[in-house]
Amino acid sequence: MVNLAILISGRGSNMEAILNFAIKKKVVNPVIIISNNYDAAGIKIASKFGINIKILPNLKDRKMYDKKLEQILHKYNVTPKNGLICLAGFMRILGEGIIRKYKNRIMNIHPSLLPAFAGLGAQKQAIEYGVKYSGCTVHFVDGGIDTGPIILQDIVKIQDDDDHISLAKKILHKEHQIYPKAINLFATKKLIIDGRTVKINDSTLRN
């Protein structure tokens, strides 16, 4: 089974959705939650699940941070052979080395329809731009910011009275659906990765 590490910085609602999915479906084995923030609300949620939690506070030296991160991952047997690392509101950029080692084994969720509105404040960017639809994206992590191969997306219609807060709420609801779905596809080996294109070998997802 795939050993799963979830990296968080804050609220942890995507982590919670993933852990609930993991318990129900039993296709991944969540072994460790790592937070770069002592005060992350998600830590409390993780402890209710009885899962191991490590706090790895931010360091300026990215290489050193990633080295310590890799040590934790190896300790919990989340390896480039059998592991999956899910960034779930993890507000820190990983370095090239770890991304290369765990190629196509690090996923991220972003609250926009990438490649639109990458980076911080994606919902606010969408409202300010005046788009009529936004959504969320699960993608593999590559060396860029929110640029990696796209696995799944879902859309949300923006109404005239939406602001970035109401939009974030609508998008978050969809995030909680597509992140577990993407992990399930990965764990059940239904993702076919060809360069930056990810195809899904699952007829139930076609419409």
Enumerate binding residues for ligand GAR (CB under 6 A). 8, 10-14, 42, 88-89, 109-111, 122, 172, 175
Output the smallest distance, CB 59 to ligand GAR, in A: 20
**Distance of alpha carbon 149 from the chain centroid:** 13
- Our CB check for ligand GAR shows the closer of 83 and 148 to be 148
- Which residue among 110, 139, 173, 176 is the active-site one? 110
Output the smallest distance, CB 28 to ligand GAR, in A: 17
- Our CB check for ligand GAR shows the closer of 69 and 88 to be 88
Query: DSSP 3-state assignment of 9?
Result: coil
Q: What are phi and psi of 42, to 5 degrees?
A: -60, -20
Closest C-alpha among 164, 171, 160, 107 to residue 135: 171
Tokens in use for 131? 């788009």
CA–CA separation, 71 and 75 (whole Å): 6
Beta strands in the chain (DSSP E): 2-8, 28-35, 52-55, 83-87, 106-110, 133-140, 150-157, 191-194, 197-200
- CA gyration radius, the chain: 16
Instruction: Identify the residue whose tokens are 């930056």.
Output: 196
CA–CA separation, 162 and 170 (whole Å): 10
Output the smallest distance, CB 1 to ligand GAR, in A: 23
Tokens in use for 69? 């991160």
- Our CB check for ligand GAR shows the closer of 69 and 138 to be 138
Output the smallest distance, CB 201 to ligand GAR, in A: 26
Q: Look up 176 and say whether it is catalytic.
A: no
- Our CB check for ligand GAR shows the closer of 42 and 148 to be 42
Catalytic residue annotation: 110
